[in-house]
């Protein structure tokens, strides 16, 4: 429990909550566009669903999980976030394409095919979930931290001037 109260633990829990929100958004859009309305193929509906879910995911991750505010930097934040999102989407597209082909080949009902397609989408994003957290935490949304106490103590013990050096 103490780990969950640590800054890293709280960040991981917030990241998980954002992932749940994003997953619910993408699964909802996928269910509506493919399962209910049958607007396009499973792959096209998957692209739309994931693109829609990426928008709140970015803003929630940036502001709530990593505590960043102000304008987003296009090259340092937005572009890498969308690249990682598109990497996840590419894996998802492939798994959805394979799943839809499998369901078609076996003449599953549309309800069963929808369940298989949505499961493939979840599995693909689940695989990348941890890797994306590490990337966001260590590269994308890094914030300068206060100097460790040991460094501050060493700095205060260092001579401040030639007189301090002579006095020792």
* pTM for the model: 0.72
Higher pLDDT, 48 or 87: 48
Q: Give dist(CA 18, CA 67) in Å, integer.
A: 13
Please name the residues in contact with 79: beta carbons below 8 A apart, sequence gap of 6 or more: none
**Boundaries of domain holding 75:** 2-167
Residue 148, pLDDT score: 46
Q: How many residues does the chain have?
A: 168
Number of neighbouring beta carbons within 10 Å of residue 55: 13
Which of 20, 13, 25 lies closest to 65, judged by CA?
13
User: Mean pLDDT of all residues in the chain?
Assistant: 85
Rg of the chain, C-alpha, whole Å: 23
Q: Give dist(CA 33, CA 93) in Å, integer.
A: 15
Residue 59, pLDDT score: 95
Residue 52, pLDDT score: 95
Q: Give dist(CA 49, CA 34) in Å, integer.
A: 10
Q: Is the pLDDT of residue 119 over 80?
A: yes
Q: Give dist(CA 118, CA 121) in Å, integer.
A: 5
Domain count, the chain: 1
pLDDT band at 39, cuts 50/70/90?
very high
Residue 144, pLDDT score: 65
Query: Cβ distance 108 to 42 under 8 Å?
Result: no
Question: Average pLDDT of 106-118?
Answer: 95
Q: Is the pLDDT of residue 60 over 60?
A: yes
């Amino acid at each position: 429990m103490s780990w969950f109260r640590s800054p890293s633990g709280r960040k991981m829990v917030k990241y998980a909550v954002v992932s749940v929100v994003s997953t619910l958004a993408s699964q909802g859009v996928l269910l509506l566009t493919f399962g209910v309305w049958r607007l396009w193929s499973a792959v096209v509906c998957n692209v739309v669903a994931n693109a829609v879910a990426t928008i709140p995911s970015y803003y929630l991750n940036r502001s709530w999980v990593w505590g960043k505010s102000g304008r987003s930097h296009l090259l340092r934040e937005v572009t890498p976030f969308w690249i990682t999102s598109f990497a996840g989407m590419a894996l998802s597209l492939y798994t959805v394409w394979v799943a839809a082909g499998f369901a078609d080949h076996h003449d599953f009902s549309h309800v069963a095919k929808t369940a298989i397609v949505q499961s493939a989408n979840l599995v693909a994003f689940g695989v990348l979930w941890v890797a994306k957290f590490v990337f966001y935490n260590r590269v994308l949304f890094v914030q300068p931290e206060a100097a460790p106490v040991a460094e501050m103590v060493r700095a205060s013990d260092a001579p401040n001037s030639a007189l301090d050096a002579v006095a020792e």
